[in-house]
């Protein structure tokens, strides 16, 4: 089959035909025709280069997004059980994340194995109250979060006024402050948080938490199973955690402003 002529060839043949049928030379500018054809060739080469580069880029993205590469490319969807939230690994400088205030969890639990659990001690730890009252540190928010990538679960408690003192340690039985009545808290191990020189009520005696978690709140994370406000009595606010097992924990503080302080406890999952 005969190959079709290019625009350059067609114009050249036309010019030669005109030259053959005229006594005088037609308006035939060979240099102009050649220059125009070169421009057409450059445009075609540029378009071909762009197409090849685009195809290569798409292929690279798909390859880097494939499971097992450890890199992020085109998202892989369907059949995954990755958690909806994440946070920096233990020891990072970022503060608490996750959940809503007033005692309800904001992140869902995941049974998917996450990062390696940190090696934290299980022994009790304390930090004294170093300020003066007034103002009294007031508990205004309780937040929880699951962090499978770091191998731990977290509870954060936010205080206004100034930072309270605290004592955190394992107990055999959770009881109500003042009455000593036992609390049935879901979990196999119990971590008691006690915040000193603090309160969880306003000047009228109303709770500063909405809702107040005076009844156990079920969380259902792999380690953190539940929590309860089991005391707001004589300058001490008590919050007990129901855990899957007696694992190591870590206590940190974050000052968001001179009158806004967060104490957060991370509990290793194993």
Query: Domain-by-domain residue ranges, the chain?
Result: 7-64, 125-268
Indicate the CATH number for domain 125-268: 2.60.40.3500
Q: Tell me the CB-side half-sphere exposure of residue 169, using CA atoms within 13 A.
A: 9
Instruction: Let me know: does 154 contact 96? Beta carbons within 8 Å.
Output: yes
Instruction: Let me know: does 126 contact 192? Beta carbons within 8 Å.
Output: no
Tell me what the mean pLDDT of segment 153-163 comes to: 97
For 122-140, what is each residue's pLDDT tens digit? 999 999 999 999 999 999 9
pLDDT at residue 50, rounded to an integer: 43
Torsion 104-110-114-119 (CA) sign = positive
User: Which residues, in sequence order, are CB contacts of 226 under 8 Å at separation 6+?
Assistant: 185, 186, 187, 216, 217, 218, 219, 241, 242
pLDDT at residue 116, rounded to an integer: 86
Torsion 141-142-145-150 (CA) sign = positive
Using pLDDT thresholds of 50, 70 and 90, give the confidence band for residue 49: low
pLDDT at residue 158, rounded to an integer: 98
| pTM higher than the cut 0.75 | no
């Amino acid at each position: 089959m005969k190959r079709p002529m290019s625009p350059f060839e067609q114009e050249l043949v036309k010019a030669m035909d005109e030259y053959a049928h005229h006594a005088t030379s037609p308006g035939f500018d060979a240099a102009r025709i050649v220059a125009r054809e070169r421009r057409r060739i450059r445009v075609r080469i540029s378009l071909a280069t762009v197409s090849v580069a685009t195809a290569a880029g798409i292929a690279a993205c798909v390859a880097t997004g494939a499971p097992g590469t450890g890199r992020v490319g085109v998202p892989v969807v369907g059949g995954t059980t990755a958690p909806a939230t994440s946070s920096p690994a233990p020891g990072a400088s970022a503060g608490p994340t996750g959940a809503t205030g007033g005692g309800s969890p904001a992140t869902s639990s995941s049974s998917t194995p996450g990062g390696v659990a940190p090696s934290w001690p299980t022994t009790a730890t304390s930090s004294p109250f170093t300020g003066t009252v007034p103002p009294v540190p007031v508990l205004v928010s309780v937040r929880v979060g699951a962090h499978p990538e770091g191998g731990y679960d977290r509870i954060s408690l936010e205080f206004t006024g100034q930072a309270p003192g605290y004592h955190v340690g394992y107990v055999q039985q959770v009881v109500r402050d003042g009455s000593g009545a036992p609390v049935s808290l879901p979990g196999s191990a119990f971590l008691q948080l006690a915040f000193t020189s603090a309160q969880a009520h306003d000047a009228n005696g109303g709770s500063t938490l909405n809702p107040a978690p005076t009844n156990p709140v079920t969380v259902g994370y792999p380690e953190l199973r539940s929590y309860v406000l089991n005391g707001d009595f004589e300058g001490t606010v008590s919050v007990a955690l129901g855990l899957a097992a007696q694992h190591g924990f870590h206590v940190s503080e974050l000052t968001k402003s001179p009158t806004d302080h967060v104490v957060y406890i991370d509990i290793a999952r194993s």
